Structure 1
Amino acid sequence: MGRRRMGRTVIKWYLHTQLDLEKEGISMSQYMRVLWAMFYKFLGAGLVFVTAVMTANYVGPAGRGFLSSMTANLAMYSPVVGSFSEYIPYGINKRKQQPSEVFTTVLYYCFVFVLILFAAALLATPFFWHDLINLVPSKAMTWWIAGMIGPFALFHVCVTRLILGLNELEWLNRLNTLQSLLAIPLFFLALTLPDEQNEKVVWAMFAWLASYVVTASISAVVAVKKGKVSLVPKPVQDLRTEIFKYGNQLAGSRLLTQLNYRVDYFFVLYMISVEAAGIYSVAVTVADMLLFVSMSLLQVVVTRVSALEEKDSSLLTARTFRHTVVILLFSLIFFYLVMPSVIILAFKEDFATALTPFYILLPGVAMLGLAQVLTNFFTNQLGQPKVLIRLEMISIFTNIILSFLFFGVFHMGAEGMALAKTSGFAIIFLIAIIYFCRATGYPFWKMFVLQEDEIQQYKNLFGKVTGKLRGK
């Protein structure tokens, strides 16, 4: 009888909550999508974490430093060129354009720019030939391998934007975890070869390249089967000017975003040492797992933010922001209590000094996740990527100045870089929320206060969970 009553209670809760949400234009299926998105995001974070543990234990801090540099270098230019791909969900949902026409036009611009970088990497190959033959890693080689990966990574990004624009979130989740999933067995093969440590690092670089080649191939099949698009980069005359303008505006923002996000790592790499960068990368990798929480919520609503009218979109953004605050708060507590022990157990004593930067980075990453909820509104609803450029310029200026101050004057080392990064993210967060409130007229205080229906939803959820536990 107790279980029957609990079942009836759950059904009533489900129906009541669904009706309330449908009044807001949000179906219960979207809340299930949030749960699935969070599952896939944490799966992706787990795969990245496993890769980090593998590389750290097999090649040590120095090897980890080279491999982290490789990913940081790709992150510097791939999103910049890939900024054109951000038009795909915007064009499909906000501008109501044909997905096939948007995709082929975006693909044209992306490949024009990325092939230039790919050609430059090919021309630079003779300069690394001796190191490649002898399997000797170097900082310059990490830039070269990133250039070789570029076309494959960029095509994969374009396909994920297409799938997002079509609101095929299940397929989007699969594609987002694909490269990380493929990288693990390839890394394992490279790192377990009976070679010297430096040689294993170079083999791991080629394993990373191979993972992107396979990922791009699978993405091509998904684009044709699910997206019903052509893979031939062919610009549509009516869209060329608009997409080119949008991409150029967003490219500056993307460059500043990546520079702002990576400048601390590059300071550690080039001003301290490769070993220090390898240790610092562990702190960054684990702290970044917190971003997967906010990204999972944002992923579910991003298409609705661009498709709804501006007022409804602003209300949805504010609601998403509040839910993200709640989830990030509990996640922060969990990370501070649990992850330090995980770092010591997984990465061993060689990486123990990563703990202090990790503690400093966590609140900054949380504020960045909240800011991204708001900046998504500026880009996909208002179509104002210039707002992001201004935010990033202010943040990166603060980041660089504080990095030199903490490192050069106070001699704080990697901890100073982490503090500068968190300060920069705090500035982005504050300006983003102020601008959002001014642009929409939404009360500032209301952004941080759960509404009555939201509180009731959490009460119902808590009651459901405790009821199930008591029933057992």
Structure 2
Amino acid sequence: MAMKTKGLGDLLAGNIIFRSLNIACTVLITFLLTRLMGTGGYGVLSLLVANAAIFNLLTCLGAESGITYHYASGIQRKSSLFSIAYLVILFQIAMIVLAEGIYHAFSGQYFLGEWNEDNSLLWGLLYFVSIVIIDKYQAFFNAAHLYTMVNRIIFLASLLSLLVFFYCYFFYPSGNDALYLKIFILASVLQAAYMVLAFHQKTKQPLSFGRIEKSNWKVFFSYSIIVLITNIIQFLAYRVDYWFVDYFHGKEQLGIYSLAVKLGQVLWILPLLMAGILFPRIAADKTEEEETIWLKLIRVANVFFLIAAALAALLAGWIIPMMAGKAFSESVIPFIYLLPGLLFFCFNIIFAAYFAGKGLLKINLAGSVLCLSLVLIGDFLLIPHFGIKGAAIASSLAYTAAGIHHLYRFASYKKLPVLSVVIINRDDWNAVTHYLRKYTGRT
């Protein structure tokens, strides 16, 4: 048992290092892009990312969660899972090409290519294919418990992008938004290619495709379809405010608001890391002792989330204009309004992974429906009159409600008092000091 505990602590410590480095790179890239592209250009980039992500969710059939669950649990043969994954990728490519043709026929524009460039559609499609592959292989990495390796790859890709945009800002400030979009897309393509090569080399599993029986499809999609519906609903809750802001107030305001959202969601990096590790380990039937350790980690993490949110609120008025430029000063108030909801939603992220690992998918579905319903009501009422401040308030209230929902459902499932899940105790602090001594060489 002790070895399992030690392994979990080492695993989290190593991954936190790479995630922290990736956060730093991501934030710096965001600030460089806002400087290079301005509010309008950054709004176009944000819309490309949001549109590609929603179409990915709509067409992925929940494959990423299905891959993680079935690979980690050993329910299906790995060759069959590769076959399913690549068939889903081909299906997604066919669907985006078809959708772009229909969208262009009716609107004269492209869903993924709404920028002034003759070949913008091809670049948009290239970006879409790259994120589709990245999502599938991140699921394979997590399912194989190669968390540190995938986080290292993501960090290296971010670091490379940072260096390129750093060079552009200081030595080649062309003012050509299309150029910066292409660099952003190429970085995503390189990351996708490297993830494919690294996974198969590390696991020594050739990219071979096994026969898919009818039962394989049924087992795989009986799990993943519910996840798909939940993920689509939750993603709409994340991004529907972008479309409202764009429709009522234009891309300038969207660029300002999307910066606030992007910076705010940095708070979710650690919860997402914990969720990415928790899901496959729960699916692989880890012990009750490990679940107890997870609870300690969650309580300790709550303290850090609270401190991080408080510091962010205090420093936002100084850091955002200094780093992004005065044109983005309006991002400060929406950013601060978002923080309470982002803080509570950390519970949603972590406990959703636990419920998914246990197969309790209807709990996650209920939380996502609650979140989207409140976002839609708030956006309809607030965005037309209060703009991006109204969008931030609506999202913050919805995220808070969804976080409380998952916290309550987890406490009920484990038959624990709600406060015992949230409030840190003496044993938790002792565990923290133990690991601090260990990793600073003071044991």
| TM-score, length basis structure 2 | 0.87
Paired letter, 2:387: G
**Deviations for 1:172-217, whole angstroms, at most 9, x for unmatched residues?**
112333543343455567777675x4xx222222223222222222
In the alignment, which of 140, 143, 147 is matched to residue 162 of structure 1? 140
Paired letter, 1:163: F
Q: 1:466 to 1:109 in 2, by over 3 A?
A: closer
Aligned partner of 1:212 in structure 2 is 188
Residue 117 of structure 1 pairs with residue 62 of structure 2: no
Aligned partner of 2:407 in structure 1 is 433
Which deviates more from structure 2 when the two are superposed, residues 146-155 or residues 391-400?
146-155
Aligned partner of 1:152 in structure 2 is 130
Report deviation, 1:31. 2.2
Aligned partner of 1:266 in structure 2 is 243
Paired letter, 1:291: W
Aligned partner of 1:136 in structure 2 is 116
Paired letter, 1:111: L
In the alignment, which of 12, 32, 37 is matched to residue 54 of structure 1? 32
Which deviates more from structure 2 when the two are superposed, residues 91-100 or residues 364-373?
91-100
In the alignment, which of 190, 197, 204 is matched to residue 221 of structure 1? 197
Aligned partner of 2:348 in structure 1 is 371
In the alignment, which of 64, 76, 84 is matched to residue 85 of structure 1? 64
Distance (Å, rounded) in 1 between the aligned partners of 2:333 and 2:320: 12
Paired letter, 1:228: K
Distance (Å, rounded) in 2 between the aligned partners of 1:464 and 1:312: 21
Distance (Å, rounded) in 2 between the aligned partners of 1:135 and 1:277: 15
- Aligned-residue Cα RMSD (Å) equals 3.3
Residue 334 of structure 1 pairs with residue 307 of structure 2: no
Aligned partner of 1:43 in structure 2 is 21
Residue 181 of structure 1 pairs with residue 159 of structure 2: yes
Aligned partner of 1:423 in structure 2 is 397
Percent identity between the two aligned chains = 18
In the alignment, which of 206, 212, 234 is matched to residue 257 of structure 1? 234
Runs of at least 5 residues in structure 1 that lack an aligned partner in the other structure: 1-21
Which deviates more from structure 2 when the two are superposed, residues 331-340 or residues 344-353?
331-340
Paired letter, 1:105: I
User: Does the residue aligned with 1:450 lie in a helix, a strand or coil?
Assistant: coil
Aligned partner of 1:7 in structure 2 is none
Report deviation, 1:65. 0.9
Distance (Å, rounded) in 2 between the aligned partners of 1:194 and 1:345: 18
Report deviation, 1:426. 0.8
Report deviation, 1:52. 1.6
Q: 1:152 to 1:233 in 2, by over 3 A?
A: farther
Contact map agreement 1:290 1:366 (CA 8 A) in 2 = yes
Paired letter, 2:181: M
Residue 302 of structure 1 pairs with residue 285 of structure 2: no
Distance (Å, rounded) in 1 between the aligned partners of 2:99 and 2:50: 18
Contact map agreement 1:364 1:425 (CA 8 A) in 2 = yes
Aligned partner of 1:236 in structure 2 is 212
Report deviation, 1:451. 4.4
Paired letter, 1:151: V
Paired letter, 1:325: N
Q: 1:254 to 1:144 in 2, by over 3 A?
A: farther
Contact map agreement 1:121 1:144 (CA 8 A) in 2 = no
Report deviation, 1:171. 1.0
Runs of at least 5 residues in structure 2 that lack an aligned partner in the other structure: none
Q: 1:81 to 1:36 in 2, by over 3 A?
A: farther
Paired letter, 2:405: I
Residue 398 of structure 1 pairs with residue 378 of structure 2: no
Q: 1:401 to 1:163 in 2, by over 3 A?
A: same
Contact map agreement 2:150 2:195 (CA 8 A) in 1 = no
Distance (Å, rounded) in 1 between the aligned partners of 2:422 and 2:144: 31
Which deviates more from structure 2 when the two are superposed, residues 146-155 or residues 244-253?
146-155
User: Does the residue aligned with 1:273 lie in a helix, a strand or coil?
Assistant: helix
**Deviations for 1:400-444, whole angstroms, at most 9, x for unmatched residues?**
111222234xx2211110010011111111111222222332332
